[in-house]
Amino acid sequence: MKKKILLVVFICFATFLLVYSPHINYAFPFHIDEWHHITEAIKLGDGDYTGGGAGYRVGFHLFLFLLSFPLNLIEVYQFLPAIWAVLTGLVLFYVTYKKTNNYWIALFSMIFFASLKSNVNIGGLWFFTSLTFALPFIFLYVFFFTEGIENKNKKQILISLGIMAFLVPVHSISVLFALPFLFIYGLFHLDYVKKEWKFFSLFLIIPIIGIILYSFLNHLSFLGSMGKLFNDLQFKKGWGVLETDNSFFEVYSPIGYLFVLLGIFSAMFYNKDKKYLPYILWTVVTFVSVVYYKLFDVSYLAPFQREFYYFAISLPFLSALGLFNLLKLKNEFIERSSIKYKSYAKKFISLIIILLVLFFAFYSYYELPKSTGLYKLIDGEDYNALIFLKAQESGKVISTSAISSTVYAIAGKEPVGAIYFYGNRTESENFFKTSNCSEKNKILKRNKVSYVLSKSQINCTYSNIYGKNNQTDWIYNVYNISNPIKAVKSKAK
């Protein structure tokens, strides 16, 4: 028993190192979505939370806001993806073990889960976003819902309902995507569902909560939001910031897919009770959604990028099932053979197979498509400059669109234009494109800018408050350019 626990601990440790590895030489968040979530969490605490698109993740932002009390959110964020990947892996182990009553399948599922790849288009374990935050809860509600129906256990079904209701304001599409395959699974148990239709009507709570949240954030009546919501749940090509022709191997290894097929085959033909049916349905339905998008440029209930990742997280369970059954078949073959030392042969061949699987599952783990590689919005010098800026009087900041994406999260000040989500990116880019001070001043006045944060010196008549020849960042106070009245008041103080 101790050896089995130690193996789980070792895989948790290895998963942490694997997911954390991109941060070894970089202490800040990689993805613009991560900076966006940090910003919204801080805005929530400042009473400046505007809702809108961000409001559909208010539960996640509340979690980050609460986390910011005991911890420096910026400095600790680099560890959160790895910590959450370990937690999710443990939840998957629990769910798989309960479903199969088999330690090895549960252990293999953790390994295949850790092998899931990440990139900035699809997302993944390298980034701590509302999507990755939702992952352990997805595994849990699917498990409790399907187990509850299979065992006619209302308590388990209510636990599933509770988790789904919790996820609606956290990451609603992490519930929406599952509705088709859970509905199909319910049809296989239609007699029970029809018999307990009053009980199952409780699941209407989920769309009601969703519509209420949607109505509140869009300032619409409950009925008035119905038509708009239907249109908003159609995600056409162009929805995402980055659109690429995604390959199935971007998120999972060829050896992993091979064992998925073996897992599906063994589940369908060797398990007469069909207890693995919901996990097959999960994979098949999300796969169909991905293919449908590739053919018709539209997906429903969840955007293609998210649907693609929901497909990916369904695979480790089936891969683990496939690998275990291969090892089982190998043992049966050895038992029927004339090999003399059968026990040693079983262990030795199992070890070779597992080592080969590990090698091929993680072989291309760090290979990312060129268009979706990691990027760094700031460096250490930028962070120090923004910490300095945080201590200054309130005012709008203009900087490069990359740095601007982090300005509110670190300095607590509004940027003129970030890469996405905030302000007017074009204004920020035009300011740094031109060397004409008169044109720069027009942009400053138009946007009522108080501070300029530049990666190099600016040869205009701006008041330098941060920056020396051995530094790469310069901050200028430009109150006198954009807001002369405020500048006079500031000097009077």
Residue 246: the pLDDT is 79
- Provide the residue-wise pLDDT of the chain in tens; the chain has 493 residues: 788 899 999 999 999 999 999 999 999 999 998 999 999 999 888 888 775 555 568 889 999 999 998 899 999 999 999 999 999 999 999 999 999 999 999 999 999 999 999 998 888 999 999 999 999 999 999 999 999 999 889 899 999 999 998 998 898 889 989 989 998 998 888 888 888 777 777 777 777 776 776 666 666 565 656 666 666 667 776 666 666 677 888 899 999 999 999 999 888 877 666 789 999 999 999 999 988 888 887 887 788 888 999 999 999 999 999 999 999 888 877 777 777 777 788 788 889 999 999 999 999 999 888 777 888 899 989 999 999 999 988 899 999 999 999 999 999 999 998 888 888 889 999 999 988 998 989 899 999 999 999 988 888 888 888 887 667 888 999 887 766 655 545 544 4
Cα distance between residue 213 and residue 342, in whole Å: 62
Domains of the chain, residue spans: 2-371, 380-492
Q: Which two tokens stand for residue 138?
A: 């997805």
Q: Looking at 152-238, list the stretches that DSSP marks H as alpha helix, in order from N- to C-terminal side.
A: 154-171, 173-176, 179-187, 190-195, 197-200, 205-217, 225-232
CB 191 within 8 A of CB 161: no
**What does pTM read for this prediction?**
0.89
Identify the residue whose tokens are 């420096």. Answer: 72
Alpha carbon of residue 114 to chain centroid = 14
Q: Are 299 and 239 in contact (CB under 8 A)?
A: no
CB contact at 8 A, 361 and 115: yes
* Amino acid making up residue 367: E
- What is the pLDDT at residue 256? 94
Residue 433 tokens read as 């494109």
**87-106 exposure pattern, b = at least 16 Cβ within 10 A, e = fewer:** ebbbbbbebbbebbeeebbb
- 117 and 124 in contact (C-beta within 8 Å)? yes
Q: Which helix (H) or strand (E) holds 236?
A: strand 234-236
The answer to whether 444 and 482 have CB atoms below 8 angstroms apart is yes
Residue-level pLDDT at 228: 63
3-state class of 233 per DSSP?
Answer: coil
Question: Residue 218's beta-bridge partner residues?
Answer: none
Residue 464 parent element (H or E): strand 463-466
Report the SS3 class of residue 358: helix
| Concatenated DSSP letters of 435-455 | --HHHHHHHHHHTTEEEEEES
Closest-CA residue to 73 (of 49, 48, 40, 50): 40
Exposure string of 259-291, with b = 16+ CB inside 10 Å and e = fewer, is bbebbbebbeeeeeeeebbbbbbbbebbbebbe
